[in-house]
Each structure stands twice: as structure tokens, then as C-alpha cells.
Structure 1
Amino acid sequence: MDWPRWERELDRLALHGVNLPFVLTGHEAVIQRAFRGLDPGLDDAGVRAFLGGPAYLPFVTMGCLAGWDGPATQGWVDRRAELGARVIGRARELGMRPVLPGFAGHVPQQLAGRASTQVVDWTGFTTHALDPTDPLFADLGERYVAAQRELFGGTDHLYLADPFIESVPPAQTLDEVAATAAAVYEGMRRGDPDATWVFQSWPFTYQEDYWSADRIRAFLGAVPDDRTIILDLWSEHRPVTAALGSGKPWLWCMLHNFGGRPGMYGKLGTVATAPAASGAVGLGATMEDDRGDPVLYELLADVAWSGAVDLDSWLPGWVDARYGRVDAETGDALRRAWGLLRDTVYAADAPGPPGAVLLRRPVADGDLVPAPFLLSEAPRWRQVPDELWTAWELLAGAATAIASTGPDAARTAIGRDLADVAYLVVGTLGDHAQAEAASAYLAGDEAAFAAAARRFLTGIEDLERLLATRPEYLLGRWLADAASWGETGDERHAYEADARRILTLWGPPDGALVDYARRGWSGLLGTYYLPRWRRWVDALGSALRAGRPVDPVAFDADLRTFDAAWVEDGPAAGTLPTEPSGDTAAVACDLYARWHSRPT
């Protein structure tokens, strides 16, 4: 984000009562200064290579990877440092205490020769973890704080550091586990005697086979209780911290989404009441994208202010506030629609929304239906719930009324909500169509395959058209923002490729995180997901006509070639719209009329 967007974002955070924002912007310069002069073989260019591409800084900070999709340019490092100083300064003006990254023990490969390090793996990426008994560990922690003081006019004594967020730690004995925690804190304390270490309890459940009760106690016991704050990352679905009984202060955090994936989803009932009864000292939002579902984040903010919330009264009030002054009939329809959504998509006991098959990587073997990603998606609905059809109809009617008489804010809100419901329904029907096409292929029924495949592809085309009407869902904006940071043609191309990669391949073409983000955006559907599924339809259709099975190895190779080419030389900034086109209500009504009569 540039400064105008950051300025608006900080105002939004302040208005919602956020007082401890984590600020990563500008951290590249902190890392560069901290490592400067440590080794003749590690100059500023070497640190920029360690940082990798701009989109991956959070994962470098957590020790997940290093040097991926880079290197960063010095211009990028300098401009981000200037922006970070401005962001941190404004946050302080608004009464916030910014949380800054601390040193968690991960170093460039060039230091592996002069320091004691061990290689740590994360989903196929490797990094070098410094031995906590090496004097350089605490020294680097102190250097981080010193650099933050120089760049950002001091610190606010809060430092976030996760030495092994999702990796298996190289420490084996309890003493080694404790030494890691002690070294992280000691580096912070040397730089700032008033330091408080903020860290996540996520590793304790993500790598639960490693993190035995004894190891958790050794880790937590190595740091004073009054100098730590634990973030219980996924409290609404998989709470862990309260059960530890550590005596350390902790925050009840709502994770809500992985990768910014689309789909109306959330546990309204849990968020409304669980934090107040949890024993946490505060609340946090730890989402991977905070624009996914406005109702969840507004509720969380109100719970932070008010404690437990009665949804029966809160939700109608939120609906009235969201749409503003509308006529009585429209207001009733909106409240009814949201009541139906509350009882369906916002009451599901699942780790995420139903993940649309159209956003998964096509496969040409097995049952031909791509598997959900990890454990972060709900199972596919056997049929679209009647409540969703009714909610869609009610929202469409309300949108038509608001278009002629409603305030601007209401038109913006109803368009977003209508698009989200339509996306969920058409995506679900697309799941069914793809499964029918797969079954028809396996049965050798060419006509049935063609009909189901055509219905599936039509759904993707329809969603591309629908989402093009929404400013929130434009790939063109994402690419234009990335390119705006480049000072040369080569930089702009690199930043665009970086922005395309993290949305799609994420890592290498054969990596474990392919299609991790899976964002249903206009431009991304039309230029990436739809061409991939057309390849699938063409490959299977050709195999049926030829009377031979499709070659899954050849198909996968062709798909990987397409994926890589799209990332490196796909749509560039300026080639896709940055402003919405078309009327959301009109498109949604057209889709309702056509899809409601189809099999569900």
C-alpha cells in the first residue's frame, strides 16, 4: 500500500479501537542495517538477496524461507523504510503502540560459515537457524532494536518474533528448546530493557507431534510472564493457549481466512461470545486478508469494545448501519436476508468456506476432482441451501430498490454483498458441474461430459463478468499497485511477476503451496483459472473422442508450463481494468434467473 491507502487504513483501525497494530512495512531496512558489517561476504546486496521478492517479506520474517523470487532492490528497501517511518509515526499520533518485528534467529546463508547454524525446512523451502547459544544471536536481536530506533524514531517496546512458526525446530532437549526462547527475548532486552515479546501459539498445534507438553513448558518458562504476550492465532476454530495454563497474558485472535480466499464464512456466534469467557486479556485479528467479510470484522471490533454481544439484536442493528436510510420494505428484506446468511454460511462448523473447485488446480487422474487445500475448506454442499437462494433473491430486490433511492454507501454495500452471495452459489453449482463432467468422462459418456463441462466453464465466465463490476475484486488493481513501486521497466516487471506468483504458484511450479491464495477476482478468473480448466475440458474431450485415456503426466506438464508462463509474463499492469464496469445488481439478477433453473 502507498501512503494514501495507509493513511485511510490507520484511520479505520483507530476508529475500530485497534491499539497494537503490527507494522512490517520498512522492515527490509531494519534487516539490512542489522546484518551490515557482520561478515565481509555479506554486503547490502547480499542482504537484499536474502530478503527476496517484496511479497514474501512476512515469510522471511517468520523464518519460513529466504531469497525467494528476489532480490529486492535498494530503491525498494529505501522507499519502504520511508513509508514505514510515516506509518509508525501516524499510528503513534493516533494513540496506538506499533508492534515491530523482532529477531527470531534466522540468518543469511553467508553467515552459516562463521556462526553455528542448522538448516530448517518449511514446505520445501530451507533457511538457516542460528544456534541460540551463539553470542551472535543476542547481538542480532539488539541490532534489530537499534536499527528500529534509528529508522522509526524509537520503538514502543513490543516485538513480534516466531522462531519456528510452522517448521520443526532443530532443538531436541528441553534445555535446547528453552535456550531458543531465552535467546530471542535476551536480544530484545539488550536493545530495550522494557521489551515485551509477542509471539504466536500456532506452532504448538501446527507441529503438535513435536510440541509435547514438556517442550511447551520449557519454551514458555524461559521468559518472564510479564514480558510476553501470546497470540492464540485461531481461537474461533482451534483454541490452544487457554489450555496451556501458562499464566502468561494472551489475546483471543480471529484468523478467519487463509490466503484471502473468497467466500462468505465465519462463526458469528463464537466470535460474539467466546472472547469474553476465554480469560484472554484482549482480542486480536490475525487474518491473512482483512477484506474478506465485513460482518466478521465489525463484530470483532464491537466485542472488543463491549464484551459479549447478543447477535439477535446486534445483527439487525449492523444491517441497518451498513445500508443506511432505506425504505421500510427494503430494510426488512435486508434483515431477513442476513438472518438467513447467519443461519447458514455464518453458522457452519468448518475451518473455512466451501472452496470452489474452479480455483483448484485441475487434475487428470484418479476421480478427476481436485482435493481441497489442507484443512482450511469446508466440504462441498450436496446442494445449494434454499436459504442462500432466498437470500440472493432478497438482496437482488433490495439492490434494485437502493439503486434508485438509496444512499451511495448503501449501493456500495449491497453490491458487495450481492456479489458475494452470487459467487458462493454459482461456485457451488460449478463444483457440481465439474464433478458431473468427471463422472461422465470416467463412464465414457461423451455427450454428458460435454454438457456438464460447458455448464462448468459457463459458471466461471459468469463469475468473471459479475466480479468485474466490483472494485474489491479486480486483478488489475493488484497489478497496478505492484507496478507503481517500480522505478524502471525491469523493476515493474519483477514486481508484477512477484504479485502474480503469490496469488497463484506461490512457490515453485511443483511446490506444496500451488494455488494457496485462490482468490476469486475478475482478471484472475478470466486469464488464469478459466484457461486452465479449458485445457482440462479439451484434454478429456479429446481423449473421449479418440477412445483412449488422457495422459495425466502430459496434462500436468502442460499445465505447469502454462502456470509458469502466466506468472512470468502474464497480464501486466495497464492491460486489465482498474475500475469496475457494469452494474452488479443487473448482472446478479441475470445470473439468478439463469442459474436458479439449473440442477443444484
Structure 2
Amino acid sequence: MPYKCSWCLSLPLIAVIYVTFPANCEFPTLAHLGPQASDETQTKALTDLVKRLLGSRGSEFILLVNRSLARDDLDVCELRSAGGDKIAATGSSGVAVAAGVYHYLKYYCSCQVSWSGSQLSLPSPLPGVPGVLRLSTPHKFRYYQNVCTQSYSSVWWDWRRWEQEIDWMALNGVNLPLAFTGQEALWQEVYLGLGLNQTDIDSFFTGPAFLAWNRMGNLVQWGGPLSSSWHIKQLYLQYRILQRMRALGMMPVLPAFSGIVPKAITRLFPQAKVTKLGPWSNFNCSYSCAYVLEPSDPLFQRIGSLFLSKLLAEFGTDHIYNTDTFNEMTPTSSDPVYLSAVSRSVFASMTSVDSQAIWLMQGWLFVNNPTFWKQEQIKALLHGVPIGRMIVLDLFAESMPVFSSTSSFYGQPFIWCMLHNFGGNSGLFGTVENINMGPFEALRYPNSTLVGLGMAPEGIEQNPVVYELMSELAWHWEPIDLYKWASLYAARRYGVSHENLTDSWKLLFHSVYNCTVPKYKNHNHSPLVRRPTMHMNTDLWYNPRDLYEAWRLMYLSAKPLMSVETFRYDLVDVTRQALQLLTTQLYLEIKDAFQKQNLPKLLTAGGLLVSDLLPELDRLLSSESHFLLGLWLEQARALAQDKHEAEQYEVNARNQITLWGPEGNILDYASKEWGGLMGDYYTQRWSLFVNTLVQCLDRGKPFNQDAFNQAVFQVEKNFTINQKKYPSKPQGDTYDIVTRIFLKYYPKALKRLN
């Protein structure tokens, strides 16, 4: 029978789990994959992790890794009470034990660890565990990250922040993370060794904030070049990242060659079969148009094996490599023979260096371009690699799964992934019903080749509840009761059990966190974070009343909880979402007033938006450390070795979250709602828009969108280069600011819904 867990039923009860292991698709070629560190090394790394997390109270846990506990090649952790009020946790890998410890902390101690702070008020003594609590997973792999995550979120991280993230990964059971840091230093060695000069390489690499798309062949040069200082620091960082990941029992995924080459290759090897692809997104060929080396050319194998040889010599390997052919780019031919040859050659470049290589491929291309990728083309690309030697990430499975339309990727093993977030943009969003049901439907799918679950957000450090739910589901054998889970989440998130907070989270799960319409994704289309026009997307997938009521309940509980970091973050985030909704309502009033030539109404709604609501929102965001533009910019500048480089990195950081390209090529894609950005970017655009509409009515002229776009572009561009300094520490009293906003705007919000 599947496990039954009483914590799903009520808060005070203790978890007791019964497990059976269903017959599942097995791939002998994956059996050799697993932690390389010894049990002793993993145990030591775990002990250090728990000490970092709990300080002196970490000594109350007895930790042990014993890989022989694994059952059917799947992770297991056992928890029991030990002498002296201690808790013993024994598991088949470091990650399994870490996940078991975190389960205990959540459901026995009502604690939480998240990107937005930790709530670790441990009871003393620690609650006992009756009998043996056995936790297991039906999934060999628990994958984490997206190729884009390294640009949208972790690009400026130092080791301290990476250490925190790796700890979070382990606690959440992740054992298959991407590890792409520092690869450009090795690519530079390869290309210099082939005869390219530094100018050739500088015109190829992008700046740090755009490396994800350089790696996938979408973009060149923009925001670059990369300095030797950058390469050295990133290499050193990668050594530490890999050492820690492996010590905890993870299997880091390293990069491999996809065929994308610098343009200068055509000069050095004029006979090479190199194809120039078309421009990507809204870029022209000055910064796009990748050069792809044909897989049949001997140079393909030479470059691929050169890079992988250097990579393995530098970093070692866990035998899993990621590379993405044709990411958001159309192949030169739809001929299945050609597509099979491409994947065969990519894989051959791996196995020529590592005979045990497994290719991990993002399946985004099948979602992004379904017109090209018909069943015949998908099957050809996948079958260019022996069955079981490729793992496909069904990257957007919570909204647009591919496994069900490709007979489980035509036999190749796959990982069911939740993408969730595009660009790292702010905004409450989730698909909790889909992620609660989807993985289990995939597991029960006829002849399923499912081998894992994954979290593949383009950007992180937002909506922590969604990631805690998703990571926990990897240790379940059937769907859970979402509303009971949400109630328990509220209690451990804040360290108190309060009816208002429980009801607030139930409302959030019912509304903003339960999007079931794929078209909405989580790309924040709110008018607040978009360049103003007369035709903006104002659709919602939820009832605003539910959000406003959740806000009210949270505010009523706020005063005694303001010292709790996790609560303070959520209060700001829910208030921010409420003001985002109000911005949409005011925009509709502004638009209606202009169309009806009602100047007084236009002045009232426009004035309220740009002179009061948005400045209040900026003050709110500036009062909480997790919503600060200044911190993002400070981290970017801190990686530089001199003033020139610091200025380059700051422009990278500003451009990515606003214009995204020299001309607003992917405008507002990575939009963040941060203090400083709200005041000096979004508010300035809205002010110009309202003033332009007022002038049009005054002069009896129609609104000219093209003229406005030219004017507002100057505002946007100036923001990316003005070098204004922003605080990297919170300013103001969050509770006072929220109180003022709530008393002023909550009644207005309800009135506007009537």
C-alpha cells in the first residue's frame, strides 16, 4: 500500500510512513550513477551542514550515511529517537539524510528553511520519534536548476551564498543539480589552443548577466567581454561548489559541446561545415546569429572532446552532461536523418572522453517550437542516442507536458519538471493542483520512463512555498491534501499556529497559487511591470477578492510577528501583490478616462497611481532586505577587480532586469519588483505615460504609441547607465508602512471590485 502520513491530517500528530516499492521502469545504463564520496565523507559534510543550520543544537542529531540502505537504487532515510533526547538519522546518501533531518524539523519541530529566511525555533528537548520513521522516494533523481538560473539569479553569488544554496538543495532532497560555473575559462583555453586570438574570443563571450544564452548559442558579445579576473574567480568558485555538492552525495551535471562555435572558426577552418543560424528573439546578427558546426565535420568531435577532456581534468565527473542543441533556434533541416546525426555526434563527443557519459537534455525546444518539432523529428533527435544514455528534462511539465504526447519520450528516461518561473520576475504564482497530480500521473503512465522529478525555474528567490511543496512531493507516493498541507506550512513558516494565518494560506492556495490555465505561465504580465500602452494584459487566473482577504488576515496577525523574518517577507510580498492588483485597476480607470476624454477622472486615477501608490510600494519594498535593487547591484560590483569592470557589471545587472538588450530587445522579461527599481524605473515610466495622456487631451490629439515608446526608451536607457547608488540595507519600518498602505488602500481595493 502507498504511504500514509498523519501530518497530512492534523498538525499535532506525528508522521508514520508505510512504503512499498512499485515496479518501475529500470535503465541499467543509469545504475552506475550515484554519489562518489565515501559514506564517511558524506557523514562529515552532513554534520557540518547541520551545525551551520542549527549551531550548537546540531549536536543533538546523530547522523550516518550507509549506502547499503538504498532499496532498488532509491534513496531512503530512517529517523529514530536516541539516548539523551537526541535524534538519529541514517540514510543511503548524504542528501537522503539531509532531507530526513529537514522532514523532522518541519513536522516535529514546526521549523522551516527558505530563500526568504529561516524559522528555526527548536523546542527543547527535541520531540521524540516513536519507533522508526522511514522516508523513501520513488525517484532516483531529484533535479534542480535551469540553464537560465545562473544568469537570472546566481550570476553575482559569492561562496557564502552558494554554500547556503547547496545546503538548501540537500535539505530539499536535490541530488542532481546543474554545475555550470566557470566553464568559459575552459572554453577560452580550447579556442586559444585552436588558434583563435583574444579579440575573437572577446567578440564571442557575453557579459556575466547574459552567459546562459551564450552557452546555448542564442547570444554573443552583448555585455562583454569577460576578464581574466572573472575567469579565475569563477573557476575557484566552481571547485568549491563541486567539492561541496559531491561531499553531500549529489551528482553535479557538467556542460558539454553542442556545436555552437565562435564566428572566427570559419576563418581558421575555412573548409569546416559551419552554418549560420538566424537571429534569436528580437536581436539582430550584431549580437545573435549563432554559428553551428555540422555534426558530420571531424572538427565537431575534435572541439567536443578537447573541451570535455579539459573539463574532466579540471573538475572530475559524475558522468552526466548537459548541452542543448537548437535551444529556441530552428535547425537547418527537418530531415530525421540529419537530426539523428546531430544527437549522435553530440553524444559521441561525450563518450569519446567518458565511456559512461549520460546526456541530460532540456526538453524546452519541443515546447518552444512545436511547429518544427513534430513526432518524427522528436523521435529522430532522441533516438540518435542509445536508449537509456539520454535523460530528457520535461521542463514545463506542470503546464505543457511532453511525455504524454511522445509515448514517454519514445523510450528515453525523463524527469518531470516544474519550470514555474520565467526570468526570476516577482509576483505570486503557482500551479499547486498540477504539481500535486502531475508527477503521479507520469509515474502511472503506460510504460512510463519516468526516473525523477525536477525544479527548473529560470529564476529563484521568489514564491518559496511552491518550491518547498514541489521538493517534498519527490518523497511522496501519492498526492497530498493541499489545504491541510498549506495549514501546516503556515504554522512552520512562522513558528506559531494562528487561525488567521491558516485561513490566509488556504485562500492563497485556492487562488493565486492555483493557476490551471497554461497560457498564464508565470511570466508576470501585470501592467505594473510592463512598458505602458493602451492595450495591456489585465487578465487574471484568480479572484482578486481572495487575495485581498488573505492580505487582510495576514495584516491582522502582523504586529507580534514582525521580528520573524519569514513572516515579514510574506507580509511585504502579499502587500506587494495587492498593490500590483490595484495598479491594474487604476490602469483600467486611466484608460477608460482617456478614451472618454474625462480629464478630471484621468488626473485623479493617474495622480493616485504615480504620486501615491507607486511611491508607497517603493517604500514598502525598500523596507525588506529581500526586495532591494541595491543588493543586486552591490553584489555585481563586488565581483569586479577595478572600477571599469565594476561599471561593466553594474550595467549588466541593470540591463538584464529592464531593457534586456541594447534596444529593449526582450523588454521587461526579467522584471523584478524591488525597492529603488520601483521608484526610478517603473514609476518614472508610468508618470510619463499619464502626463502624455493628459497632454493629448489638453491638445486634442490622439495618443501616439510609437512616439511614447521613443520617449520612454530614454527613461529606460538612462536607468541602465545612471550609476545612482541604492541602499543595500532595509530602510524604514515595515509594519508602519504596511499599516499605512492597508488603511489607505484596502477599502479602495474592495470598492473598485464592486
- Residues 240-259 of structure 1 mapped to structure 2, 5 A cutoff: 240-245=402-407, 246-259=410-423
Shift, 1:510, TM fit: 4.7
Q: Could you tell me which amino acid in structure 2 is paired with residue 138 of structure 1?
A: Q
Correspondence for 2:603: 450
- Aligned mates of 2:549, 2:459 — CA distance in 1: 28
Residues 475 and 354 from structure 1, CA distance in 2 versus in 1: closer, same or farther, beyond 3 angstroms? closer
Shift, 1:582, TM fit: 2.2
Bigger shift: residues 176-185 or 44-53 = 44-53
Bigger shift: residues 430-439 or 268-277 = 268-277
- Aligned mates of 1:232, 1:256 — CA distance in 2: 13
Contact 2:205/2:226, CA 8 A, preserved across alignment:
yes
Shift, 1:236, TM fit: 0.7
Give unpaired runs (5+ residues) of structure 2.
1-156, 444-449
- Aligned mates of 1:161, 1:531 — CA distance in 2: 41
Aligned Cα root-mean-square deviation (Å): 1.7
Contact 1:106/1:127, CA 8 A, preserved across alignment:
yes
**Structure 2 residue aligned with 1:394, among 553, 567, 570?**
553
Correspondence for 1:370: 536
Contact 2:397/2:417, CA 8 A, preserved across alignment:
yes
Shift, 1:253, TM fit: 0.5
- Residues 109-508 of structure 1 mapped to structure 2, 5 A cutoff: 109-113=263-267, 114=269, 115-120=272-277, 121-123=279-281, 124=283, 125-152=288-315, 154-245=316-407, 246-279=410-443, 280-308=450-478, 309-324=480-495, 326=496, 331-350=498-517, 351-352=521-522, 355-363=525-533, 368-371=534-537, 379-380=539-540, 385-403=544-562, 408=563, 411-457=564-610, 458-508=612-662
- Aligned mates of 2:329, 2:699 — CA distance in 1: 47
- Aligned mates of 1:537, 1:218 — CA distance in 2: 54
- Aligned mates of 2:716, 2:723 — CA distance in 1: 9
Contact 1:37/1:43, CA 8 A, preserved across alignment:
no
- Aligned mates of 1:241, 1:495 — CA distance in 2: 40
Q: Is 1:2 the equivalent of 2:158?
A: yes
Correspondence for 1:29: 185
**3-state SS of paired residue (1:361):** coil
Contact 1:461/1:530, CA 8 A, preserved across alignment:
yes
- Aligned mates of 2:693, 2:487 — CA distance in 1: 49
Q: Which has the higher contact order (CA 8 A, sep 6+)?
A: 2
Shift, 1:175, TM fit: 1.2
Contact 2:615/2:679, CA 8 A, preserved across alignment:
yes
- Aligned mates of 2:326, 2:160 — CA distance in 1: 34
Residues 353 and 51 from structure 1, CA distance in 2 versus in 1: closer, same or farther, beyond 3 angstroms? closer
Shift, 1:353, TM fit: 6.6
**3-state SS of paired residue (1:260):** coil
Contact 1:355/1:380, CA 8 A, preserved across alignment:
no
**3-state SS of paired residue (1:112):** helix
- Aligned mates of 2:263, 2:390 — CA distance in 1: 30
Q: Could you tell me which amino acid in structure 2 is paired with residue 566 of structure 1?
A: F
Shift, 1:344, TM fit: 0.8
- Aligned mates of 1:587, 1:356 — CA distance in 2: 23
Shift, 1:305, TM fit: 1.8
- Aligned mates of 1:549, 1:17 — CA distance in 2: 57
- Aligned mates of 1:531, 1:127 — CA distance in 2: 36
Shift, 1:371, TM fit: 4.5
Shift, 1:385, TM fit: 2.6
Shift, 1:134, TM fit: 0.9
Shift, 1:399, TM fit: 1.5
- Aligned mates of 1:570, 1:237 — CA distance in 2: 40
Shift, 1:354, TM fit: 5.7
**3-state SS of paired residue (1:37):** helix
Q: Could you tell me which amino acid in structure 1 is paired with residue 456 of structure 2?
A: T
- Aligned mates of 1:447, 1:317 — CA distance in 2: 49
Correspondence for 1:58: 212
Shift, 1:381, TM fit: 7.0
Contact 2:327/2:365, CA 8 A, preserved across alignment:
yes
- Aligned mates of 1:238, 1:547 — CA distance in 2: 47
* TM-score w.r.t. length of structure 2: 0.74
| Alignment coverage as a number of residue pairs | 572
- Aligned mates of 2:712, 2:536 — CA distance in 1: 14
Work out the percentage of aligned pairs sharing the same amino acid.
Answer: 34
Shift, 1:229, TM fit: 0.6
Contact 1:369/1:434, CA 8 A, preserved across alignment:
no
Contact 2:526/2:537, CA 8 A, preserved across alignment:
no
Contact 1:358/1:460, CA 8 A, preserved across alignment:
no
Q: Could you tell me which amino acid in structure 1 is paired with residue 296 of structure 2?
A: T
Shift, 1:570, TM fit: 4.1
Residue by residue, what CA displacement relative to the aligned partner does 1:399-439 show, whole Å, maximum 9, x if unpaired?
A: 21324xxxx5xx21111111121111211111121121122
- Aligned mates of 1:51, 1:569 — CA distance in 2: 25
Contact 1:441/1:449, CA 8 A, preserved across alignment:
yes
Q: Could you tell me which amino acid in structure 2 is paired with residue 392 of structure 1?
A: W
Q: Is 1:542 the equivalent of 2:695?
A: yes
Correspondence for 1:375: none
Bigger shift: residues 475-484 or 199-208 = 199-208
**3-state SS of paired residue (1:586):** helix
Q: Could you tell me which amino acid in structure 1 is paired with residue 295 of structure 2?
A: P
Q: Quick check: which one's helix share is greater?
A: 1
- Aligned mates of 2:371, 2:709 — CA distance in 1: 33
- Aligned mates of 1:463, 1:262 — CA distance in 2: 13
- Aligned mates of 2:552, 2:523 — CA distance in 1: 21
Contact 2:423/2:459, CA 8 A, preserved across alignment:
yes
Shift, 1:14, TM fit: 1.0
Shift, 1:47, TM fit: 2.0
- Aligned mates of 1:510, 1:315 — CA distance in 2: 39
Contact 2:483/2:509, CA 8 A, preserved across alignment:
no
Contact 1:232/1:253, CA 8 A, preserved across alignment:
yes
**3-state SS of paired residue (1:126):** coil
Residues 242 and 551 from structure 1, CA distance in 2 versus in 1: closer, same or farther, beyond 3 angstroms? closer
Q: Could you tell me which amino acid in structure 2 is paired with residue 117 of structure 1?
A: V
Correspondence for 1:586: 736
Residues 208 and 381 from structure 1, CA distance in 2 versus in 1: closer, same or farther, beyond 3 angstroms? closer
Shift, 1:90, TM fit: 1.2
- Aligned mates of 1:586, 1:31 — CA distance in 2: 52
- Aligned mates of 2:421, 2:378 — CA distance in 1: 26
- Aligned mates of 2:510, 2:667 — CA distance in 1: 33
- Aligned mates of 1:25, 1:412 — CA distance in 2: 30
Residue by residue, what CA displacement relative to the aligned partner does 1:24-59 show, whole Å, maximum 9, x if unpaired?
A: 1111112112222213xx124432431110111111
Q: Could you tell me which amino acid in structure 2 is paired with residue 293 of structure 1?
A: N
**3-state SS of paired residue (1:75):** helix
Correspondence for 1:84: 238
Contact 2:256/2:322, CA 8 A, preserved across alignment:
yes
Q: Could you tell me which amino acid in structure 1 is paired with residue 546 of structure 2?
A: E
* TM-score w.r.t. length of structure 1: 0.92
Correspondence for 2:4: none
